[in-house]
Chain A
Amino acid sequence: MSAVIESHGHDDHHHGPAKGLTRWLYTTNHKDIGSLYLWFSFAMFLIGGVMALVIRAELFQPGMQIVEPEFYNQMLTLHGLIMVFGAVMPAFVGLANWLIPMMVGAPDMALPRMNNLSFWILPFAFFILLSSLFMEGGAPNFGWTFYAPLSTTYAPPSVTFFIFSVHIMGASSIMGSINVIVTIMNMRAPGMTLMKMPLFVWSWLITAYLLIAVMPVLAGAVTMMLMDIHFGTSFFNAAGGGDPVLFQHIFWFFGHPEVYIMILPAFGIASHIIETFSRKQLFGYSSMVWAMASIAILSFVVWAHHMFTVGLPLAAELFFMWATMLIAVPTGVKVFNWVTTMFKGSITYETPMLFAIAFVVLFTIGGFSGLMLAITPADFQYHDTYFVVAHFHYVLVPGSVFSIMAAVYYWIPKWTGNMYDERLGKLHFWLSFTGVNITFFPQHFIGLAGMPRRYPDYALQFADWNAISSVGAFLFGASQILFLFIVLKTVMGGKKATPQVWEGSRGLEWTVDSPAPYHTFTTPPKVS
């Protein structure tokens, strides 16, 4: 990002960043680390995106054309793992790093050195994961959910490297989350009570709590896998008294809170942007907080809705169905609050607002298909079809990813001091919006018609919608090159931004200069 030039001479409290590569290697500055996270996440987004395009190219027409089925499985697995752990999660951590200290009026994150460690583990972890492509037997090929025994008895040897890579990603997430929680609990400016915190901060406080609660469970799951594969235990092997379904229980006990980890910060972002461009105060602040907390708590008791067809006792099927449907209540509160905030507002449609409105609408579509999937008897039809793929891509791409893009457009004037090119931004939005819907909406139809997910080939009757979906995917993919161009152009220069940037923006980060000085709030501001 842009170098912040402040020459205060000998005043060692207010100097700018170090020069050269070591600035990034040794940094303890939350803004530097935030930028590292964001760039890393964008690189992973492109790598995972290319993998998605390999998948969509193969599925463009029935039959096997481009890749071997074994390689297709590896692309499928790595696409999922990279997008979840490499793209979406680090992007939110990057935003947290950039924004939370400024939003709460803190000089930096609470534990700055550990913050740097949390980031630098990630490039190594993903180097290990990607290097498995070149190992004997190929990369992991068992899907991002790595169900046993596919990931144990039938796994390629590279699974051991996958396991350790997940271990250190988990360590990075746990340290990152501890940092976020400690910063929020301990570093708020005087006067900023919990219920005065910006919603993005609230959303991250809850997300960090979820992360610390479930990343260790994932570590436990992969450890059991490691022991089953190499040391003769039988956690997931019925021959020794274990159960492959046990893996699914442990995995989804992690996995369901994990999917909320990828959406809660998006809720925070949407709240800020909608409020700003509606030029109104957010409707129902405290209900937003309580809704996020309820969603987080409920996320611990819904995991088995991913497993309705594995043979659960009836009582479990019913419990997990009702508990899952209950989540629609707090989520509905949030959606209605956003709509009510826009109601009678003086709305302008700058790029962040376009992404935020698309987020609300398309995330809601993904939420509704989620409700359909929650209905146990109906799920027996939908389970493991493209309907599920459509559902979670609707909540993750126009949900999480759109919110991240909205956040980048919204805060990039604060980060770089320059306004992005509004015309290009809108073009990027409309291309992405069109691409994402062409890609994923038809997948609802082919899923309901019975096309199973995770196969490189399919029956002829699914051909038309698959071809359309592939065209959409390439449109969406190509439009992200435009995004990269816009961001680079903004970093290089552009119309200078004012401190407040947006007419309706409020919050501490808009009280400092644009670009934000390298060190902000070395003495805490007073919040009334």
Chain B
Amino acid sequence: MSYQKYYVPEQSKYPIYLAIALFLLVMGAAGTINDLGKTDSNSAYILYSGLAAFGVTLYFWFRAVIREHIAGLDSAQLQQSFVFGMAWFIFSEVMFFAAFFGALFYVRNFSVPWLGGEGEKGLANMLWQGFESSWPVISTPDAGSAFALADKSMSWPGWGKALMWLPLWNTIVLLSSSVTVHFAHLALKNDNKKSFNKWLGVTVALALFFVGLQALEYYEAYAHYGLTLNSGIYGSTFFMLTGFHGFHVMMGGLMLAIMLSRSVLYNHFDPHNHFGFEAASWYWHFVDVVWVMLFLFVYIL
């Protein structure tokens, strides 16, 4: 086996720029959030400049990596580093969602039943006597004062209304997009770039469609169901889980859109050389699996 040199760039300006961007981003975000409701706050400008710097730096950083790859600087070993790196990054994302699923599991199985007087720590019922445990929690323990009441939850409405139930359509759209991105992968492996672009385009369109449906669902929740972030633990878990998932769909969709534009505009990727796309598609499948979990534990059960 002949040895290839492992490419280590001499120096790079991107990391320190990205660290500065991140600093502006979080200072701006924290300031903006603390100043919510104040009219004379300038923190939002820091936030926007941080976001812009973040995006621009990432653009140039990725561009540099892609150019190094095209110039043949990266050995097979270096490419393997990217593969491992992406896999472990996705694992960290899995653990991020695990925290929120863990919270959902805990409130459904422990804190809400205990507040309702059930189980080993049912003594908690003395806080709000008369509160009965149910899921979804429509009426919160401290009903009406601290937290607004929702009229309706997003849970499974029964077979009769299933076709009018948005989450079902969301599921169909997202699961299909996982299939189409796989078709795109297969097309690429068969060296059919035209078909690759077509299927990847369909996937990006489905991603956009999903985000649209999700926005519609949020609109319905806020406008018609009275279900908000403020409506107790059901609203909290519902919006945080679906919200972070939606955010990840947007990130994954953006990655795939970038891969599509690389393929269409610059004719990047060939049958043996497409880890950028593969990484984005892994991420997409991960987002899809999270949705299946959400569908089960947030909507159905």
Other-chain contact of A232, B27, B77, B229 (Cβ < 8 Å): B229
CA distance A421 to B290 in the complex (A): 57
Rounded to whole Å, the gap between the CB of B153 and the closest CB of chain A is 13
Other-chain contact of B107, A110, A112, A241 (Cβ < 8 Å): A241
Other-chain contact of A243, B29, B106, B120 (Cβ < 8 Å): B106
CA distance A27 to B5 in the complex (A): 19
- The digit string for B10-32, where 1 denotes a CB below 8 A from any CB of A, is 11111110111011001101100
The number of inter-chain residue pairs (CB within 8 angstroms) is 229
- The digit string for B96-129, where 1 denotes a CB below 8 A from any CB of A, is 1011101100110011101100011100100110
Looking across the interface, which residue of chain A has its beta carbon closest to that of B29? A164
Interface residues of B in 238-275 (CB under 8 A from A): 239-240
Other-chain contact of A108, B6, B14, B18 (Cβ < 8 Å): B6
CA distance A25 to B11 in the complex (A): 9
Is the CB of A358 closer than 8 A to any CB of chain B? no
Q: Given A107-B6, A113-B12, A120-B15: A243 and B26 within 8 A (CB)?
A: no
Is the CB of A26 closer than 8 A to any CB of chain B? yes
Does B10 contact A28, Cβ atoms closer than 8 Å?
yes
Tell which of B134-142, B179-187, B216-224 binds the partner: B134-142
Does A240 contact B99, Cβ atoms closer than 8 Å?
no
Is the CB of B234 closer than 8 A to any CB of chain A? yes
CB-CB under 8 A from B240, the residues of chain A are: 223-224, 227, 233, 235
Does A240 contact B233, Cβ atoms closer than 8 Å?
yes
Rounded to whole Å, the gap between the CB of A12 and the closest CB of chain B is 8
- The digit string for A205-240, where 1 denotes a CB below 8 A from any CB of B, is 000000011111101110110110011111101111
Is the CB of A262 closer than 8 A to any CB of chain B? no
CB-CB under 8 A from A121, the residues of chain B are: 19, 22
Is the CB of B89 closer than 8 A to any CB of chain A? yes
Other-chain contact of B111, A28, A114, A227, A246 (Cβ < 8 Å): A246
CB-CB under 8 A from A187, the residues of chain B are: 6, 77, 81
Is the CB of A250 closer than 8 A to any CB of chain B? yes
Is the CB of A181 closer than 8 A to any CB of chain B? yes
Does B233 contact A242, Cβ atoms closer than 8 Å?
yes
Does B111 contact A232, Cβ atoms closer than 8 Å?
no
Rounded to whole Å, the gap between the CB of B116 and the closest CB of chain A is 9
Rounded to whole Å, the gap between the CB of A292 and the closest CB of chain B is 19
Is the CB of A523 closer than 8 A to any CB of chain B? yes
Does A250 contact B236, Cβ atoms closer than 8 Å?
no
Is the CB of A492 closer than 8 A to any CB of chain B? no
Is the CB of A400 closer than 8 A to any CB of chain B? no
CA distance A181 to B87 in the complex (A): 11
Q: Given A212-B88, A224-B240, A232-B230: A160 and B34 within 8 A (CB)?
A: yes
- The digit string for B73-103, where 1 denotes a CB below 8 A from any CB of A, is 0000110110011001101110110111011
Is the CB of A371 closer than 8 A to any CB of chain B? no
Interface residues of A in 246-296 (CB under 8 A from B): 246, 249-250, 253
Other-chain contact of B127, A128, A164, A220, A238 (Cβ < 8 Å): A238
Looking across the interface, which residue of chain B has its beta carbon closest to that of A164? B26
CB-CB under 8 A from B78, the residues of chain A are: 110
Is the CB of A461 closer than 8 A to any CB of chain B? no
CA distance A224 to B96 in the complex (A): 12
CA distance A127 to B30 in the complex (A): 14
Rounded to whole Å, the gap between the CB of B253 and the closest CB of chain A is 21
Interface size classification for chain A: 35 or more
CB-CB under 8 A from B230, the residues of chain A are: 232-233
Does B3 contact A524, Cβ atoms closer than 8 Å?
yes
Does B85 contact A182, Cβ atoms closer than 8 Å?
yes
CB-CB under 8 A from B6, the residues of chain A are: 106-108, 187, 522
Is the CB of B147 closer than 8 A to any CB of chain A? yes
CA distance A264 to B261 in the complex (A): 45
Is the CB of A297 closer than 8 A to any CB of chain B? no
Rounded to whole Å, the gap between the CB of B89 and the closest CB of chain A is 6
Does A217 contact B96, Cβ atoms closer than 8 Å?
yes
Does B88 contact A181, Cβ atoms closer than 8 Å?
yes
Q: Given A22-B11, A220-B99, A238-B111: A233 and B236 within 8 A (CB)?
A: yes
Is the CB of A383 closer than 8 A to any CB of chain B? no
Summarize A's interface: helix, strand, loop or mixed. helix
Rounded to whole Å, the gap between the CB of B35 and the closest CB of chain A is 10
Which of B30, B33, B96 has the most chain A CB within a 10 Å cutoff?
B30
Other-chain contact of A221, B9, B99, B124, B145 (Cβ < 8 Å): B99
- The digit string for B262-301, where 1 denotes a CB below 8 A from any CB of A, is 0000000000000000000000000000000000000000
CB-CB under 8 A from B142, the residues of chain A are: 238-240
Is the CB of B169 closer than 8 A to any CB of chain A? no
- The digit string for A15-39, where 1 denotes a CB below 8 A from any CB of B, is 0001000110111110000000000
Is the CB of B162 closer than 8 A to any CB of chain A? no
Other-chain contact of A161, B30, B61, B91, B127 (Cβ < 8 Å): B30
Is the CB of B71 closer than 8 A to any CB of chain A? no
Is the CB of B70 closer than 8 A to any CB of chain A? no
Is the CB of B146 closer than 8 A to any CB of chain A? yes
Rounded to whole Å, the gap between the CB of B22 and the closest CB of chain A is 6
Is the CB of A412 closer than 8 A to any CB of chain B? no
Does A113 contact B14, Cβ atoms closer than 8 Å?
yes
Q: Given A313-B120, A524-B3: A186 and B11 within 8 A (CB)?
A: no
Is the CB of A5 closer than 8 A to any CB of chain B? no
Is the CB of A124 closer than 8 A to any CB of chain B? yes
CB-CB under 8 A from A164, the residues of chain B are: 26-27, 29-30
Interface residues of A in 123-163 (CB under 8 A from B): 124, 127-128, 157, 160-161, 163
Is the CB of A195 closer than 8 A to any CB of chain B? no
CB-CB under 8 A from A437, the residues of chain B are: none
Rounded to whole Å, the gap between the CB of B54 and the closest CB of chain A is 12
Does A113 contact B19, Cβ atoms closer than 8 Å?
no
Q: Given A18-B11, A216-B92: A110 and B85 within 8 A (CB)?
A: yes
Does B103 contact A224, Cβ atoms closer than 8 Å?
yes
Which of A107, A217, A226, A253 has the most chain B CB within a 10 Å cutoff?
A217
Is the CB of A431 closer than 8 A to any CB of chain B? no
CB-CB under 8 A from B110, the residues of chain A are: 243
Other-chain contact of A217, B77, B99, B115 (Cβ < 8 Å): B99
CB-CB under 8 A from A230, the residues of chain B are: 33, 36
Other-chain contact of B92, A28, A114, A215, A240 (Cβ < 8 Å): A215
- The digit string for A169-199, where 1 denotes a CB below 8 A from any CB of B, is 0010010011101100111000000000000
Which of B5, B20, B92, B228 has the most chain A CB within a 10 Å cutoff?
B92
Which of B19, B85, B93 has the most chain A CB within a 10 Å cutoff?
B19
CA distance A76 to B121 in the complex (A): 33
CB-CB under 8 A from A223, the residues of chain B are: 240
Rounded to whole Å, the gap between the CB of B141 and the closest CB of chain A is 6
Query: Top 8 closest A-B pairs, CB basis?
Result: A220-B99, A241-B233, A239-B142, A243-B111, A233-B236, A117-B15, A216-B96, A232-B230
Interface pairs (14), CB distance under 8 Å:
A27-B11, A116-B16, A117-B19, A124-B23, A128-B27, A160-B30, A163-B30, A186-B77, A216-B99, A219-B99, A241-B140, A243-B107, A249-B102, A313-B119
Listed in ascending order, the chain A residues whose CB lies under 8 Å from chain B are 18, 22-23, 25-29, 106-108, 110-114, 116-117, 120-121, 124, 127-128, 157, 160-161, 163-165, 167-168, 171, 174, 177-179, 181-182, 185-187, 212-217, 219-221, 223-224, 226-227, 230-235, 237-243, 245-246, 249-250, 253, 311, 313-314, 522-524
